[in-house]
């Protein structure tokens, strides 16, 4: 009988930067089964449940970012106490001071970890001096949990929310592991009322959770990871080696990859939360079915776009100060949204493109009344999709030279005659891309019907669905763990 290597087993519980904790890993599945067994015992005892889930969430983040879990604790302690001070005082200057302090702490952490090297590189470029980047580790999901915590202090400042009575509730909210590292960004007003209640998982909730976890695993570990490793990454690593046709499909592939990767995480996060009795907001709604850029941002990363709208765009004045100011506010919001995604010029350009697209749509709609027909809808979807794909090139490319190379190949070296050889060379990649886009564009009614079939299935069959998906993932996945794309943001 083979003995268990306890030392190797214990090492699994220690942070490994090469293998961050992700939902699609075998270790998480093993850990979650143990976690849920204990959770099923303590969930009716509110204080004990909150402490247990918070401690597990902190460990989950430790497995993702090591000792930087301390940042989570700092965020929770600072914003909890500052929010209490904001709620206590009626003096506007004092309330504003405490809010600004919260902004300084949270945005300050973001600036240091994400943007120090970016700003230093700009300074050194202007000074015409060589720059050696500082060795600064980027904690996973720092943009998500800082924005989430900020929504709490801002809502209390606006008198839209009452502060929590104890720090354990707030720590639970900030550290909740399913959505902590890659969203959705949950508002305190939505989540905190659930923290105070005894969780309840109905049959429908359990079935929906199984459906979301299965579909999320399939999107991430089957479609996204496979087309990324076997096609998309190769194109973006060296676009000059491939024809324009291959580059174009590389762009289409990345559009599908990032959607399946990010929405796959969100599906699993919402599903895992549902298994514990907590409801998280939707973060995606078939975004490539959008007929305009405005509609796209109502369907893509909904929690971030709504956060930017409510806490930045509206604070800047929104559309209340005339057309020119509206266009400026849109540009500022999208530029900062681009910068939120990463400290590089390409992200700023990506944000600028979407800002220009939103402003242009508002301008056109103010002078022309476009008839709403099936044809205009289809044309709108095609144009919007290709605009979004064009912008994705800047988002994915390592630098502007890669962007130039891809666009050059697509516009000057297309070679459509190799289409047959291209299909023969990448049959499984193209098959998964076709499947991914078909699943994305199927009517919502069909998806809801499949979800209802899963919900109505017997418990044994629900477990079987999960087992089958896990088996498929094991057969297809690569030997190395592929972190979620949005972990870097």
Q: Catalytic residues, which ones?
A: 341
Q: Report the C-alpha gap between 21 and 61 in whole angstroms.
A: 8
Residue 46, burial from CB neighbour count under 10 angstroms (0-12, 13-18, 19+): middle
Give the CA count within 13 Å in the CB-facing half-sphere of 408: 11
Q: Report the C-alpha gap between 382 and 285 in whole angstroms.
A: 17
Q: Report the C-alpha gap between 26 and 33 in whole angstroms.
A: 11
Contacts for 252-256 with beta carbons within 8 Å, 24 or more apart? 252/389, 252/433, 253/227, 253/228, 253/429, 253/433, 254/392, 254/393, 254/396, 255/288, 255/385, 255/388, 255/389, 255/392, 256/223, 256/224, 256/227, 256/433, 256/436, 256/437, 256/440
Q: Report the C-alpha gap between 69 and 38 in whole angstroms.
A: 23
Q: Report the C-alpha gap between 71 and 89 in whole angstroms.
A: 27
Residue carrying structure tokens 């490319």: 397
Residue carrying structure tokens 């050889």: 421
- List, in sequence order, every beta strand (DSSP E) within 191-329: none
Q: Report the C-alpha gap between 126 and 20 in whole angstroms.
A: 37
Q: Report the C-alpha gap between 147 and 340 in whole angstroms.
A: 10
Gap between the terminal Cα atoms of the chain: 46
Here the tokens at position 410 are 């697509």
Q: Report the C-alpha gap between 186 and 358 in whole angstroms.
A: 25
* Residue of 110, 111, 109, 131 lying closest to 120 (CA atoms): 131
Q: Do residues 113 and 139 touch, judged by C-beta distance below 8 A?
A: yes
């Amino acid at each position: 009988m083979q003995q268990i290597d306890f030392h190797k087993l214990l090492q699994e519980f220690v942070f490994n930067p090469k293998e961050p904790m992700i939902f699609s890993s075998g270790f998480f599945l093993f850990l979650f089964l143990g976690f849920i067994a204990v959770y099923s015992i303590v969930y009716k005892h509110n204080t004990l449940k909150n402490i247990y889930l918070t401690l597990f969430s902190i460990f989950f983040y430790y497995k993702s970012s090591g000792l930087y879990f301390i940042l989570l604790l700092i965020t929770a302690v600072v914003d909890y106490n500052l929010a209490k001070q904001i709620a206590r005082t009626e003096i506007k200057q004092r309330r504003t001071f405490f809010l600004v302090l919260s902004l300084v702490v949270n945005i300050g952490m973001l600036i240091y970890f994400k943007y120090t090297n970016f700003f230093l590189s700009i300074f050194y470029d202007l000074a015409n001096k060589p720059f050696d980047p500082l060795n600064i580790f980027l904690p996973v999901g720092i943009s998500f949990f800082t924005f989430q915590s900020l929504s709490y202090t801002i809502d209390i400042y606006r008198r839209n929310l009452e502060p929590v009575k104890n720090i354990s509730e707030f720590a639970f909210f900030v550290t909740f592991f399913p959505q902590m590292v890659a969203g959705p960004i949950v508002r305190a007003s939505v989540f905190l009322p659930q923290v105070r209640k005894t969780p309840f998982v109905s049959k429908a909730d359990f079935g929906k959770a199984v459906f979301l976890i299965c579909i999320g695993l399939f999107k991430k570990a089957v479609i996204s990871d496979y087309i990324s490793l076997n096609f998309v990454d190769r194109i973006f690593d060296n676009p000059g080696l491939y024809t324009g046709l291959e580059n174009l499909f590389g762009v289409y592939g990345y559009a599908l990859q990032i959607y399946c990767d990010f929405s796959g995480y969100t599906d699993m996060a919402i599903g895992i939360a549902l298994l514990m009795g907590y409801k998280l907001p939707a973060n995606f709604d078939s975004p490539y079915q959008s007929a305009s850029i405005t509609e796209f941002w109502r369907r893509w990363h909904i929690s971030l776009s709504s956060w930017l709208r409510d806490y930045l765009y509206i604070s800047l004045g929104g559309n209340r100060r005339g057309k020119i100011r509206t266009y400026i506010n849109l540009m500022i919001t999208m530029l900062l949204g681009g910068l939120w995604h990463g400290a590089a010029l390409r992200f700023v350009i990506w944000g600028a493109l979407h800002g220009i697209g939103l402003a242009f749509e508002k301008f056109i709609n103010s002078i022309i009344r476009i008839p709403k027909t099936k044809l205009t809808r289809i044309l709108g979807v095609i144009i919007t999709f290709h605009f979004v794909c064009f912008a994705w090139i800047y988002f994915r490319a390592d630098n502007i030279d890669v962007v130039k190379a891809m666009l050059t190949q697509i516009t000057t070296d297309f070679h459509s005659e190799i289409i047959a050889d291209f299909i023969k060379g990448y049959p499984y990649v193209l098959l998964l891309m076709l499947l991914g886009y078909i699943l994305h564009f199927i009517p919502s009614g069909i998806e809801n019907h499949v979800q209802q079939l899963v919900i109505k299935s017997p418990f044994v069959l629900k477990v079987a669905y999960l087992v089958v998906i896990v088996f498929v993932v094991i057969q297809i996945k690569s030997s190395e763990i592929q972190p979620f794309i949005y972990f870097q943001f």
